[in-house]
């Protein structure tokens, strides 16, 4: 049977919306504020008129289109509070054009929460979750709120600071989360040597990055090594492994086959495809990332 890609649509937000896209830009709403950011995949004309593209902040890309500057008026604060459902967190305009969160990742949060809540109902032992390249921590907070014991790793001390701030904003200071500034590959391999195991692993690696001690991450070269370590970190009854990728010259099939190879023999299935945001103006779907995810095979009464 041919493999069928999945489109995972992040359509359950109230505090975030993709209002329109086109001409390599996107117009978004984050709480009460309207934001314009570059969007290389928006190779079509906008659905709204130029007059409708009014914004409180506009990101002007510098060389390489990643780092740049924000143009905004005094009405936009340095940070503001948003909600995903009843989870509160902090949004901000960062120098790398991000807003402190990636709205498309909500498609994974729902399933993570459901799997962990179900496991927590079966046992008094909290499942362990490892979040590598965890950024501002929303997936970690979702997992911790669902009853997991979370280890969150990011190479950026500033990102860990954002995550701790989000933990306070969400009122989850009492949840068992370890916030660690570390290199993802080296940390995973040390955990293997320590004999640690996890029921869930979340991977959101960049195309290129540096660890806190100058370690270099290159997606194509280092992903197989990381996946090999993650396979050894899975416990005897794992729940999920989720891998996402941005701005890499890869098909989702590459992620699918890589993850399938390393998790071969586990009682579950790999799905893969694209993560997308629904556009309010004329109903288009904006592709944002590719993914591959392994989930434990559901029992008959769970399907």
pLDDT tens per residue, range 29-61: 999 999 999 999 999 999 999 999 999 999 998
pLDDT band at 300 (very low <50, low <70, confident <90, very high): very low
Residue reference for tokens 């459902």: 85
pLDDT tens per residue, range 151-171: 999 999 999 999 999 999 999
Domains, the chain, in order of start with CATH, read: 6-92 (2.60.40.1180), 103-296 (3.40.50.150)
Structural contact between residues 205 and 183, judged by C-beta atoms closer than 8 angstroms: no
Beta bridge partners of 293: 242, 271
Question: Among residues 240, 239, 248, 290, which one has the least CA distance to residue 105?
Answer: 290
Structural contact between residues 64 and 56, judged by C-beta atoms closer than 8 angstroms: no
**Number of Cβ within a 10 Å radius of residue 303:** 6
The pTM (predicted TM-score) of the whole model is 0.95
Tokens for 14? 């109230």
**Number of Cβ within a 10 Å radius of residue 281:** 15
Average pLDDT score over the chain: 95
Instruction: Note the pLDDT of residue 298.
Output: 67
């Amino acid at each position: 049977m041919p493999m069928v890609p999945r489109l995972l649509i992040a359509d359950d937000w109230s505090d975030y919306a993709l209002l329109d896209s086109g001409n390599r830009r996107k117009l978004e709403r984050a709480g009460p504020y309207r934001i314009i950011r570059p969007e290389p995949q928006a190779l079509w004309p906008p659905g709204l008129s130029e007059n409708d593209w009014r914004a409180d902040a506009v990101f002007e890309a510098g060389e390489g289109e990643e780092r740049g500057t924000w143009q905004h008026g005094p009405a936009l604060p340095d940070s503001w509070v948003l909600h995903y459902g009843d989870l509160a967190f902090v949004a901000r305009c960062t120098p790398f054009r991000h807003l402190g969160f990636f709205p498309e990742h909500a498609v994974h949060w729902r399933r993570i929460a459901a799997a962990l809540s179900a496991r927590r109902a079966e046992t008094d032992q909290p499942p362990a979750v490892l979040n590598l390249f965890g950024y501002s921590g929303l997936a970690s907070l979702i997992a911790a709120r669902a009853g997991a014991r979370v280890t969150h790793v990011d190479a950026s001390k500033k990102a860990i600071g954002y995550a701790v701030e989000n933990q306070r904003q969400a009122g989850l200071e009492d949840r068992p989360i370890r916030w660690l500034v570390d290199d993802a590959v080296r940390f995973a391999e040390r955990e293997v040597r320590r004999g640690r195991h996890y029921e869930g692993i979340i991977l959101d690696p960049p195309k290129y990055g540096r660890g806190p001690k100058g370690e270099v991450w290159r997606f194509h070269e280092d992903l197989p090594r990381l996946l090999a370590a993650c396979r050894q970190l899975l416990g005897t009854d794992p729940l999920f492994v989720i891998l996402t990728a941005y701005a890499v010259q890869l098909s989702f099939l590459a992620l699918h086959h890589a993850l399938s190879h390393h998790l071969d023999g586990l009682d579950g299935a790999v799905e893969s495809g694209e993560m997308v945001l629904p556009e309010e103006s004329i109903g288009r779907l904006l592709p944002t990332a590719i993914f591959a995810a392994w989930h434990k095979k559901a029992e008959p009464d769970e399907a």
